[in-house]
Chain A
Amino acid sequence: MTRDWTDRRIELTVGNLLRAGVILSAIVVFTGACIYLVRHGFSPAGYQVFRGEPADLRTLPGILRSALHFSGRGIIQLGLVLLILTPVARVAFSILGFAEEHDRLYVIFTTVVLLILLYSLLGSGSAF
C-alpha cells in the first residue's frame, strides 16, 4: 500500500510540475509575441517557401543571445525551448521518485528514456 501512495504522490507532483512548465513557457512566448508583433506586425507574412531558421534560432546559445537582445523571435523561441524541456524535467523527476521507492527496474527504464531525450536534444546535430 505504501507503494500505491507514493505512486500517487509522484504523479500529482509530476502533474503540477508539467502545468507550471506550460504556464511559464506560455508567458514567455506571449511576451515575445508582443515584441515581435509590435515590431514586425505590418511586414508581409510568408511561409510558403521553406528556408529553415537562421543558426541563432536553432541552438540554445544562439536563442539565449537573441532573447537577451530582446528580439521578439528569440524570446518566443526561448519559451518553446522551455516547453520542450518540461516533459524532460518530468522524466528526470520520476527517476528520483522511483529511486525513493527502491524500484531499481524503473529507475533503469526511466534513465533510458531520459538518455534518449537528451540524445535528441544534445547528440543529433546538437541544438544545445
Chain B
Amino acid sequence: MNILEFTLLVAMGSFVAGLLGALTGLGGGVVLVPLLTIFFKVDIRYAIGASLVSVIATSSGAAAAYVKEGFSNIRIGMFLEIATTLGALCGAFLATIVSTRALAIIFGLVLLYSAYLSRKPRTPEQRNLPPDPRATRLRLNGSFPSEEGIRFYNVQNVPTGFSLMFGAGALSGMLGIGSGAVKVLAMDQAMKIPFKVSTTTSNFMIGVTAAASAGIYLNRGYVDPGLAMPVMLGVLAGSLLGVHILIKAETNVLRWVFSLVIVALGAQMVYKGIAGTI
C-alpha cells in the first residue's frame, strides 16, 4: 500500500467514525484507535497520538454550536478541568511506561465499559435537590432553558465528581480518547447535574483535557503528521456532517449498531493484548 492509498483509506474510515460518533453521541475517538491498530496495523502509540489530535478538533469544532443552545456551564467546566488536566498529565506519563499490550487491554476494557454505560437505562433525574454548601461556595449551581421555562439546578457531591474527573482525564491522556462517557457519568450520576448540561459541558471540557496530554505526545514523537492528517480531517468532516443531519427517528437503531461495533472492537483489543499480537 502506498502513502496515497493509505491516506485515503484512513481518511474514509475516520470520516465514518466521526459521522457515527456524532450521530450516536458516543464520540468517534473511541473507535479510531482500534480501527487504526486492528485494520491498518498501525502501532498503538501512533494511533493514540493521532486520535488525541482529532479529539481536540471535534470538541472545539462543535463547541460553538453547543454554546448557542445555552446548556453548558462554564464554571462547572473550568473547575472540573483542574482535575481532568492533572489526570491527563498523569495518563500521558503512564502511557510511556505501560507496555503496548497492557495499553491494548485497558483500551478494550474501557470500550466494553462505555458500551455498557451507553445502553444502561438512565436513572430518572432528581429535581429540586437542596443546595450543597460546597457547590454554593464554588458557585457551581446554575440554570438552563427548558420547555417549562428557566430551570435551576443544585450541584451535589463535589469531591466525588472531582475525583471521577481526574480518572476521566487519566484515561483520556493514556488512551487518546475524549472519555466523554466517564465525564458525563461524573456530572450526571455523581454530581446530579441535568443530562443536557452534563453532555454539553463535557464536550466543552474534552478539548482542554486532550490539549493537556497532546503537548506531551507531540514532544515525545507520538504524533506523526502523515497519520494524524487523514485522521483529523476525516473525523472533523464526519462529525460536522453528523451534527447537521442528526435525525431523531433513526438514531436508536444506529446507537444499537454502533454499540455492537464498540463491543466487538473492545473484545478484539483485549484478545490481541492478551495474545500479544498488537
Contacts and interface: CB of A to CB of B under 8 A. Distances in A.
A50 B220 contact: no
Interface string A94-128: 10000000010110011011001101110011111
Given A16-B64, A50-B45, A105-B139, A83 B232 contact: yes
A80 B212 contact: no
Contacts of A2: none
A74 B88 CA distance: 26
Interface string B20-47: 0000000000000000000011110110
A119 B232 CA distance: 24
A39 to B, nearest CB: 10
Interface in B33-91: 40-43, 45-46, 53, 56-57, 59-61, 63-68, 70, 72, 74-75, 78-79, 81-82, 85-86, 88-89
Contact of A59 (B43, B45, B211, B219): B219
Interface string A1-23: 00010011011101110110110
Nearest to B5: A45
Among B61, B68, B207, max chain A CB count under 10 A is at B207
Given A30-B233, A40-B3, A76-B228, A18 B61 contact: yes
A120 B89 contact: yes
Given A11-B72, A44-B2, A110-B78, A26 B236 contact: yes
Contacts of B214: 84, 120
27 contacts: A7-B75, A11-B74, A18-B64, A19-B61, A33-B233, A36-B225, A37-B7, A41-B3, A45-B5, A45-B7, A50-B45, A52-B221, A57-B221, A58-B220, A76-B225, A80-B228, A81-B218, A83-B56, A84-B53, A87-B60, A87-B208, A90-B60, A116-B82, A116-B85, A116-B86, A116-B212, A120-B211
A80 B214 CA distance: 10
B47 to A, nearest CB: 8
Interface string B226-238: 1111101100100
B45 A120 contact: no
B3 A19 contact: no
* 3 nearest CB pairs, A to B: A127-B219, A52-B221, A15-B67
A120 B2 CA distance: 35
Contacts of A90: 60, 207-208
Given A8-B70, A48-B43, A83-B53, 6 more contacts: A41-B3, A45-B6, A52-B221, A53-B222, A86-B60, A87-B211
B156 interface: no
B78 A106 contact: yes
Nearest to A51: B221
A48 B220 CA distance: 18
Interface of A: 4, 7-8, 10-12, 14-16, 18-19, 21-22, 25-26, 29-30, 32-33, 36-37, 40-45, 47-50, 52-54, 57-59, 72-74, 76-77, 80-81, 83-88, 90-91, 94, 103, 105-106, 109-110, 112-113, 116-117, 119-121, 124-128
B198 interface: no
A37 B11 CA distance: 13
Contacts of B85: 113, 116-117, 120
B125 interface: no
Contacts of B72: 11
B103 to A, nearest CB: 12
Nearest to A121: B215
A119 B92 CA distance: 13
Nearest to B236: A26
